[in-house]
Structure formats: structure tokens, C-alpha cells
């Protein structure tokens, strides 16, 4: 007996050693059919143990290896023993039974990793419509999408990223509709990724974006499956990972950041109105403070006389220039925003009130900033939060600072120059080598109304496409 | 190019005093200027008036600057008051400073005032609205009913530089005892850039407005028709001018009329309507001839007939145009058409 036990014992120690005697690593000999001895190993923390037990029971009592494909089932598969792969499978949450006699391993794929139930995405609220959001689990995410596109044309491809973390990245697209060039580009860029630690979609975005240094996000981040399927249907590619609720969608155009599923859930006219309102809010959020600064420091003659008295009496006793005034207030608002995000909701509200009301009121009566500036900055802040995408929102809030500085140095001329530079940049920008400002540049008169209007569903007989997929599948 | 407009061009609003009403009086050599601006004292603003003396308008402004702690800025001036004496001296040389500076307001109204400019400036202290804005609103509302023509620094200057047309400006008087409420005295007539001293009464200046025919203006008129009050509004004026000979001009006016008030019944009757039309035509023609006579007496070519002659009969237009104008034979033909008669018949 002792002689027979030796090979198992050797393997067991070797296994345990190669897993550095981790506390949750289990490896033990079990008896398999007849007198055969096998080794069972798994990570106890990531395996659904009761289900595994049931399957093993079934294997032991009902099966023999005399038939073809005897070990194949939904959860199981049999492959020749390979120690390298063994480690990888175990880390993926599989349970492995190593048959010493035949040098085979039986993989039982029943992992049980912790994940949340699907919830309404916190960053993308809608009033009506689907309230499902992606979760941190690949299978659930794909099922949320497959549930909405019941077509075999929906393709899911996988890649592993991170030399240590070994994270599953999957990209989805609709065969025949997808923008092939963009797909190739994504595959190339995914292949090029070589990092040890991969833990967020932000990292992924850095690798996939065309210009990382641009203030504008070039990939749409969303947590909403309905948004993903709408994009897939336009020939775009969605990238989801196992560890974040955010999906990346590309190629994207600037204007898709200003659309929300609410537009399509509501009525045509109201949807169009709010879409235009959001575009207007972009202009307001970027230019309003700069505009105000330019007026009070360069071009006050354009104020109507009735208003000018009010403004004059407001700013007369402010000790410093408008730009400082604006920066103080903008910084206050940014601080309040930053503070309230990190705090629990209940405290967050308190911060909002303390910051907004108390500081806002006191800062004016203390004579640090003028009433007018408070109005302008508050207005701008509200306008910048209208953008449905959190990322774009951050970009816009950042953008107004350079404009404020330009306005304080050069007045309207500065704003004009800034706007020109901004436009040149936007027109140059690409998302997966597709123009960012589409359909304005390249000009597409047929699609341009979609920026401002949400067209009725029955109307577009042609396939909606923001870029040009090869075949539009009708 | 960006450097041309750097921060050294900055004009901080809080360092500037925004003047809304400016008054000038006197003639070259000894002039007086008044600048009204609001001074803010905890919540409510009070009008402060700076008085300055100088030999010409630019100097007035510079001298006034010495009396304020901030820089005087005329970019929001909405009214410029000009005393009669100054206007009689020829208004052009005084206006130059106001339209040469690019930041100055070109849409400021020009107003002639009777008597001391200072009284009008002082009166502004008792109004709730901004000093200059009070006059501006006053003139604007009168423009609506065509009592005064639209004349701002910009339009007045272009008229002043043109030889074929003469300026008319609103003329205000201060009649009440407290000297707080200026009222419209009419329209002052200019000839060759100089104020003639003659003022068209508001009743007459309406018809000057009709002759000048600016878009969107309504002219209201009331008369007695067979001892019945008859009020109407002239909605639209169509005009054609024809120069028939070097000494004769024919002007056709087609008026579209809305009856505002007419207590007699029978407005459905086509015959009655044409009777009223005839009556209106006659009445208006008479008024127009009155106005034209005054214009010719004063050699004030407010209608710009000179420009027409310059184009069509250049031989008539010369340095003595104003003389020629006063001797012109102007024929007016008015055609009235009643379009709306109101609800009650």
C-alpha cells in the first residue's frame, strides 16, 4: 500500500507547493472508479461546492470511461493532463479531478464568484424604460444583452488581459453590421496590451483610444444594456469586462454623449426638445463664465443700461479681478461636488446644503465674490450636469477653465480664439479612426437632423448608422 | 494678432463710471458739459451730475474725468442733450467726439432742449429710471407713433454729412413749475446742419413722420367728421416721388387706414366708406401742405428731396440747394384706403 501511495503523495505535495500552500486551496486524493485513485483540487473560495459534489457523485456512480465522450457534459470536459493549464483552470474557479492512471483531468466548470444582482445604474438614471444595469459578471452581462438581441449575429469574442490578473475581456458586435475596420483596430489594440495588473475599464480605454491626451472621451462608457444594444445595432463594438459595470462603446461620435434612452422612451417632440436643450447646455457650460468675465473686464458696453447698474453695484466692492472671483467660486463648486461623491448619500446631501446655501450666501455677504458671479457659476454648474455621460460632464467642467483664463486676458477675442482651437481639435479627433464630429464633419446632410431631433421610429426605413458598416443588412 | 488685444487693453467694469446722459451747451470757446451717472450707495443708486467747462466737447470730457474717482465711460450713453444755442451754431463740430471713439454708443438719441441743459440734468434725479434711459424710452415711445423720427448719433451724423437731406431732432421743453417732467415740444428743424429755431408742433410732426415713412410706425389721428369724432390709425404708407421738372415734384401717398373710433353707424355702406376716405384724404393733404410750407420756409429739406434731385436732375442740385428747395413746387396726392373698420358697426 505504501508503495502505491507514493506517486499520489508526490503529486499532492508538488501541487500544494506550486500553489504556495494557500489556505483556500484544496487538494486531496479521492477514490475514483474501482481501485483507481484520483486527485481532486480546487479553490474553496471560488467554487460552487455543492453542485460540484453532485456532479462528482453522478460521475462516480453512473459513468464508465468505455464510451466515446464519456466525460463531456454542460459543466464538464476531459482533457489530457497539463500542469500549466491546470493552474490556470483552477484560478478560473474550476474544479479539477486528475486521473493518475490515464493522465487525464476532468474539468468541472462550476465557479461561484461573488457578484451583485443587477441594479439600476447609478450614473445613468432614466425616468422611464429599462432599469437594468450591467454588473461585475461576464455571464450576467452577456445574458442581459442577449436577452435584448435574440440573434445569432450577435458575436461575443474573448481576450485575456493582465499577465497576473488574467482578466476576461469580451467584445461584442453584430456580424454583418459591424464596422470591420474598427473591429480590426480593436483586436489589434487589445492584442498589444501588455500589463500585469488589470483592474478597470479606464485602463482599457487608455489603450483603445486614439488620443489619450484629448479632454474628450472617445469611447462611450455606459452601464445600460439598452444603450449597448442600440450601439451594436449601429455597427459599433461594445467591450465589457468581468470586473467593471462599465462597457466601452466605440467608435463614438461627440453627439452620442448627448443622447439618452429617455429620448426614445418619451414622445418625439419632447425628446427632440430635450436633445436640443442638452446641446445648448454644452455651449452654456463651456462659455458662460468666460463670457461673463469678458463682459465685465473688456466689453461692458454691451450690457443693457438697466442691467448695468445692478452689475456695477454688485462688483464695485469686490477686491480682485473677475477671473479670481470666478476661480474661487468654481473651485468651491468642484470641492462640494468632489466631497459629496465620496461621502454616503445622507452626508452628501448635507454637504450640498452646507456648501451651496451656507457658503454661497456667506461668500457674497462677505464681499468675496459678487452676486452676479454666483448666478453665472451656479448656472454653468447646472448646465454641465445636464450631460447624460459622466465622463463628458467632467471634460466640460474642465474645459471652461482655459476659456475663463483666455477671456480674462483677451476678452471676446480670446474666447473666439479658444473656440477655434477647440473646434479644430474636435474636428481632428477620431474615435477608432472614425471622425468624432460625425455627422457634421464629414458632412452628412441626411443624418444631421438626428443631432437635434429624435425622429419617430417608423420613419427611418434605412438602417441607422453613425458610421458606414459594409452591409446594412436591412 | 492675439497680442494686439492683450490684458493691457483690459477695461475693468468696476473702474469705469458709466454715464448714461450727457448734456452740452454753449458754443465753441466756452462750453459747458454735464455728465449724469448713477452712484451706488448700499442698494439704491443715486444720480450724480458732473459739471465741466472747456473750449470744446473733447475737453469737456477730459475735464469731467478729473472730477470723478473712476474713468468716465460714454459707451452706454443713451441720450445726448444739446442746447438750442449749441444746435444753432451747427451741430456737426460738437458731435465728432461722440462717434469717433469705437466704444461709444452709436445708438444714443440726440435731443434738443429748450433753455438750460442743467435743469434737464437736475430733473433726472427725481426719476426712478436711469437718467439717460428715461429720455431714450421717452423718444422711443414717441417714435412708435411717428411723432419723432428715428435719429441717433449714427443716423444723425450720416444725415449731417449728406448735403441733400436735413436733420430733424426731437425738441423737449421743461414747462412744469417743479421742473421735473420734461415734455415733448415737437421736432426741431435744421437747415444745412444748423438749428433754425423753428419747431414743428407734435401734431404737425406726425405728418413729417408720414412723409418720412419709417417702417413699423403707426400714425394716429383724430378729427371731427360731420360733428362726429373720427379717429384712425394709418397702418401703412406707400409713396412714390416723381420729379417732373427742375422746379416741380409730385408725391403720391397711398395710405392704409384702420378706423379706431367712429360713433356713426353705416360703416358697412361702401358709399359711406368712400365718403370717409375722401374726407381723410382731404384732411391729410391739408396737413401735409402745412408741414411742407413750414419746411420750405425754414429751408429744411428733411425729406431728402435733395438726394433725389442729385440723382435725377444733377443740374439743379448745387450749393444753393436750400434756396432752390424753398422755392420748389411740391404737389401732394393722397389716396386713402380703409382696410379695417373695427368691431362695431
Instruction: For chain B, say whether A371 makes contact (Cβ under 8 Å).
Output: no
Q: Cell triple for residue A147?
A: 436577452
Instruction: For chain A, say whether B133 makes contact (Cβ under 8 Å).
Output: yes
What element of type H or E holds B155?
Answer: helix B153-161
Instruction: For chain B, say whether A298 makes contact (Cβ under 8 Å).
Output: yes
Question: By the 8 A CB rule, do B34 and A298 touch?
Answer: no
Q: What is the pLDDT of residue A32?
A: 82
Across the interface, which of A305, A315, A409 has its CB nearest the CB of B13? A315
| Dihedral pair phi/psi, residue A445, rounded to 5° | -60, -25
Nearest to B82 by CA among B23, B167, B147: B23
Q: From residue A178, how far is each of A389, A448, B224 by CA, in Å?
A: 24, 21, 83
> Do B76 and B114 belong together in one domain?
yes
Across the interface, which of B6, B12, B130 has its CB nearest the CB of A297? B12
In a domain, B7, yes or no: no
Block mean pLDDT (10 aa), chain A, length 474: 62 85 88 83 90 87 78 88 85 88 87 84 82 87 91 91 85 90 91 86 88 91 90 91 87 88 84 90 93 89 79 82 90 86 80 82 87 90 87 90 92 92 93 87 80 74 55 45
What element of type H or E holds B132?
Answer: helix B131-144
Boundary (domain end) residue, out of B167, B200, B233: B200
Query: Which of B5, B9, B14, B104 is the mutation pick for testing A, counting most A CBs within 10 A?
Result: B14
d(Cα A462, Cα A9) in Å, to the nearest integer? Answer: 68
> Do B168 and B218 belong together in one domain?
no
| Dihedral pair phi/psi, residue A88, rounded to 5° | -65, -45
Does residue A117 sit in helix, strand or coil? Answer: coil
Query: Which of B1, B7, B133 is the mutation pick for testing A, counting most A CBs within 10 A?
Result: B7
> Do B247 and B181 belong together in one domain?
no
> Do B188 and B292 belong together in one domain?
no
In a domain, B5, yes or no: no
Residue B53, CB half-sphere, CA atoms under 13 Å: how many? 2
Q: What is the pLDDT of residue B245?
A: 82
pLDDT range class, residue B4, cuts 50, 70, 90 = low
> Do B276 and B318 belong together in one domain?
yes
pLDDT greater than 60 at residue B200:
yes
Tell me how close the Cα of A171 comes to any Cα of chain B, in angstroms: 47
Question: By the 8 A CB rule, do A421 and A402 touch?
Answer: no
Q: What is the pLDDT of residue A473?
A: 44
Angle at which helices B202-212 and B270-297 pack, to 10 degrees? Answer: 100
Chain-chain contact of A301 with B103 (C-beta, under 8 angstroms): yes
Task: Name the one residue in this structure whose C-alpha cell is 462611450.
Answer: A220
What share of chain B has pLDDT > 90, as a percent?
1
d(Cα B169, Cα B87) in Å, to the nearest integer? Answer: 10
CB neighbours (10 Å) of residue A130? 16
> Do B251 and B265 belong together in one domain?
yes
Q: What is the pLDDT of residue A472?
A: 47
CATH number of the domain to which B274 belongs: 3.30.300.210
CB neighbours (10 Å) of residue A149? 16
Question: By the 8 A CB rule, do B12 and A297 touch?
Answer: yes
Pairing of strands B168-173, B183-191: antiparallel
Instruction: For chain B, say whether A309 makes contact (Cβ under 8 Å).
Output: yes
> pLDDT digit string (tens) for B37-86?
887 666 566 788 888 888 888 888 888 888 888 888 888 888 899 998 88
Chain-chain contact of A413 with B2 (C-beta, under 8 angstroms): yes
Tell me how close the Cα of A357 comes to any Cα of chain B, in angstroms: 22
DSSP string, A64-118: -TTSTTTT-SSSEEEEE--HHHHHHHHHTT-EEEEETTTTEEEEE--B----PPP
> Do B183 and B227 belong together in one domain?
no
Which residues on neighbouring strands pair with residue B252, listed in sequence order? B240, B333
Boundary (domain end) residue, out of B166, B200, B234: B200
Chain-chain contact of B10 with A318 (C-beta, under 8 angstroms): no
d(Cα A154, Cα A146) in Å, to the nearest integer? Answer: 8
Tell me how close the Cα of B121 comes to any Cα of chain A, in angstroms: 17
Chain-chain contact of B105 with A301 (C-beta, under 8 angstroms): yes
Chain-chain contact of B38 with A312 (C-beta, under 8 angstroms): yes
Angle at which helices A322-342 and A371-384 pack, to 10 degrees? Answer: 50
Q: B123 is in which domain, residue-wise?
A: 12-200
Q: Which residue of A has its CA nearest to B17?
A: A312
Nearest to B226 by CA among B257, B265, B284, B254: B265
Question: By the 8 A CB rule, do A454 and A263 touch?
Answer: yes
Residues whose CB is less than 8 angstroms from the CB of residue A176 and which lie 6 or more positions away in sequence, other chains included: A153, A469, A470, A471, A473
DSSP string, B243-260: EEETTEEEEEEEEEEEEE
What is the distance, to the nearest Å, from the Cα of residue A370 to the centroid of all Cα atoms in its chain? 39
> Do B290 and B187 belong together in one domain?
no
Pairing of strands A247-250, A220-222: antiparallel
Boundary (domain end) residue, out of B183, B200, B217: B200
Query: Structural domain tally of chain B?
Result: 2
Residues whose CB is less than 8 angstroms from the CB of residue A67 and which lie 6 or more positions away in sequence, other chains included: none
Question: Chain B residues with CB inside 8 Å of A308's CB?
Answer: 18, 76
pLDDT range class, residue B105, cuts 50, 70, 90 = confident
In a domain, B115, yes or no: yes
d(Cα B210, Cα B289) in Å, to the nearest integer? Answer: 12
In a domain, B3, yes or no: no
> Do B172 and B314 belong together in one domain?
no
d(Cα A138, Cα A245) in Å, to the nearest integer? Answer: 10
> Do B285 and B211 belong together in one domain?
yes
Q: Cell triple for residue B27?
A: 458754443
State whether the Cα torsion A363-A367-A369-A371 is positive or negative. Answer: positive
Domain segments of chain A: what residues?
2-108, 138-252, 266-435
> Do B186 and B268 belong together in one domain?
no
| Dihedral pair phi/psi, residue B256, rounded to 5° | -105, 125
Nearest to A258 by CA among A237, A238, A275: A275
> Do B73 and B149 belong together in one domain?
yes
> pLDDT digit string (tens) for B108-119?
899 999 888 888
- Give, rounded to a whole angstrom, the gap between the first and last alpha carbons of chain B: 69
Amino acid at each position: 500500500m505504501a508503495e502505491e501511495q507514493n506517486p499520489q503523495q508526490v503529486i499532492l505535495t508538488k501541487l500544494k507547493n506550486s500553489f504556495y500552500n494557500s489556505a483556500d486551496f484544496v487538494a486531496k486524493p479521492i477514490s475514483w472508479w474501482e481501485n483507481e485513485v484520483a486527485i481532486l483540487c480546487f479553490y474553496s473560495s471560488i467554487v460552487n461546492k455543492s453542485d460540484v459534489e453532485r456532479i462528482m457523485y453522478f460521475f462516480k456512480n453512473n459513468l464508465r470511461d468505455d464510451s466515446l465522450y464519456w466525460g463531456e457534459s454542460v459543466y464538464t470536459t476531459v482533457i489530457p493532463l497539463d500542469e500549466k493549464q491546470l493552474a490556470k483552470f483552477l484560478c478560473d474557479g474550476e474544479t479539477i479531478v486528475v486521473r493518475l492512471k490515464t493522465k487525464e483531468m476532468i474539468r468541472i466548470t462550476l465557479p461561484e464568484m461573488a457578484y451583485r444582482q443587477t441594479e439600476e445604474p447609478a450614473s445613468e438614471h432614466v425616468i422611464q424604460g429599462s432599469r437594468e444595469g450591467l454588473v461585475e459578471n461576464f455571464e450576467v452581462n452577456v445574458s442581459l444583452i442577449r436577452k435584448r438581441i435574440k440573434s445569432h449575429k450577435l458575436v461575443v469574442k474573448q481576450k485575456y488581459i493582465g499577465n497576473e490578473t488574467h482578466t476576461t475581456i469580451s467584445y461584442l458586435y453584430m456580424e454583418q453590421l459591424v464596422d470591420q475596420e474598427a473591429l480590426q483596430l480593436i483586436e489589434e489594440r487589445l492584442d498589444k496590451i501588455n500589463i500585469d495588473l488589470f483592474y478597470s475599464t479606464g485602463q482599457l480605454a487608455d489603450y483603445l483610444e486614439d488620443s489619450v491626451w484629448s479632454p474628450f472621451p472617445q469611447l462611450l462608457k455606459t452601464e445600460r444594456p439598452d444603450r449597448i444594444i442600440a450601439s451594436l445595432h449601429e455597427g459599433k463594438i461594445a467591450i465589457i469586462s468581468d470586473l467593471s459595470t462599465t462597457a466601452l462603446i466605440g467608435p463614438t461620435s461627440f453627439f452620442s454623449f448627448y443622447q439618452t434612452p429617455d429620448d426614445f422612451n418619451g414622445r418625439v417632440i419632447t425628446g427632440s426638445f430635450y436633445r436640443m436643450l442638452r446641446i445648448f447646455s454644452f455651449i452654456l457650460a463651456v462659455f458662460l463664465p468666460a463670457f461673463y468675465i469678458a463682459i465685465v473686464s473688456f466689453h461692458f458696453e454691451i450690457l443693457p443700461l438697466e442691467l448695468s447698474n445692478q452689475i456695477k453695484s454688485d462688483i464695485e466692492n469686490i477686491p480682485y479681478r473677475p477671473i479670481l472671483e470666478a476661480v474661487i467660486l468654481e473651485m468651491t463648486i468642484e470641492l462640494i461636488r468632489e466631497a459629496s461623491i465620496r461621502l454616503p448619500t445622507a452626508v452628501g446631501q448635507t454637504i450640498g446644503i452646507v456648501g451651496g446655501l451656507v457658503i454661497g450666501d456667506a461668500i457674497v455677504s462677505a464681499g468675496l465674490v459678487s452676486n452676479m458671479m454666483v448666478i453665472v457659476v451656479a448656472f454653468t454648474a447646472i448646465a454641465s450636469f445636464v450631460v447624460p455621460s459622466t465622463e463628458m460632464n467632467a471634460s466640460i467642467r474642465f474645459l471652461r477653465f482655459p476659456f475663463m483664463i483666455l477671456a480674462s486676458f483677451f476678452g471676446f477675442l480670446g474666447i473666439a480664439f479658444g473656440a477655434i482651437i477647440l473646434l479644430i481639435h474636435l474636428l481632428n479627433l477620431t474615435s477608432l479612426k472614425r471622425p468624432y464630429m460625425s455627422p457634421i464633419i464629414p458632412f452628412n446632410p441626411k443624418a444631421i437632423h438626428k443631432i437635434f431631433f429624435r425622429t419617430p421610429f417608423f420613419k427611418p426605413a434605412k438602417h441607422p448608422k453613425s458610421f458606414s458598416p459594409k452591409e446594412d443588412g436591412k | 494678432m492675439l497680442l494686439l488685444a492683450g490684458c493691457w487693453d483690459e477695461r475693468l467694469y468696476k473702474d469705469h463710471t458709466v454715464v448714461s446722459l450727457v448734456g452740452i451747451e454753449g458754443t465753441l470757446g466756452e462750453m459747458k458739459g454735464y455728465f449724469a451717472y448713477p452712484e451706488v450707495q448700499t442698494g439704491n443708486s443715486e444720480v450724480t451730475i458732473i459739471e465741466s467747462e472747456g473750449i470744446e466737447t473733447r475737453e469737456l470730457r477730459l475735464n469731467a474725468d478729473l472730477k470723478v474717482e473712476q474713468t468716465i465711460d460714454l459707451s452706454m450713453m443713451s441720450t445726448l442733450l444739446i442746447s438750442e444755442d449749441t444746435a444753432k451754431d451747427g451741430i456737426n463740430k460738437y458731435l465728432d467726439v461722440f462717434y469717433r471713439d469705437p466704444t461709444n454708443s452709436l445708438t444714443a438719441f440726440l435731443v434738443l432742449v429748450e433753455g438750460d441743459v442743467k435743469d434737464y440734468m437736475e430733473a433726472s434725479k427725481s426719476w426712478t429710471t436711469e437718467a439717460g434711459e428715461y429720455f431714450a424710452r421717452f423718444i422711443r415711445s414717441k417714435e412708435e407713433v411717428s411723432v419723432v423720427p428715428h435719429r441717433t448719433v449714427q443716423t444723425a451724423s450720416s444725415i449731417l454729412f449728406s448735403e441733400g437731406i436735413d436733420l430733424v431732432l426731437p425738441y423737449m421743453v421743461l414747462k412744469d413749475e417743479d421742473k421735473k417732467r420734461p415734455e415733448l415740444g415737437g421736432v426741431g428743424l435744421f437747415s444745412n446742419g444748423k438749428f433754425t429755431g423753428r419747431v414743428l408742433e407734435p401734431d404737425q410732426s406726425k405728418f413729417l413722420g408720414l412723409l418720412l415713412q419709417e417702417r413699423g410706425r403707426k400714425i394716429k389721428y383724430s378729427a371731427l367728421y360731420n360733428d362726429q369724432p373720427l379717429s384712425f390709425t394709418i397702418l401703412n404708407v406707400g409713396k412714390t416721388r416723381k420729379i417732373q421738372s427742375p422746379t416741380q415734384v409730385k408725391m403720391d401717398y397711398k395710405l392704409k387706414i384702420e378706423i379706431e373710433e367712429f360713433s356713426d353707424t353705416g360703416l358697412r355702406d361702401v358709399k359711406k366708406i368712400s365718403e370717409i376716405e375722401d374726407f381723410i384724404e382731404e384732411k391729410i393733404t391739408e396737413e401735409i401742405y402745412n408741414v411742407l410750407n413750414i419746411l420750405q420756409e425754414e429751408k429744411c429739406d428733411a425729406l431728402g428731396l435733395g438726394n433725389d434731385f442729385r440723382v435725377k436732375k444733377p443740374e439743379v442740385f448745387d450749393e444753393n440747394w436750400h434756396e432752390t428747395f424753398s422755392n420748389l413746387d411740391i404737389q401732394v396726392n393722397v389716396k386713402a384706403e380703409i382696410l379695417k373698420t373695427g368691431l362695431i358697426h
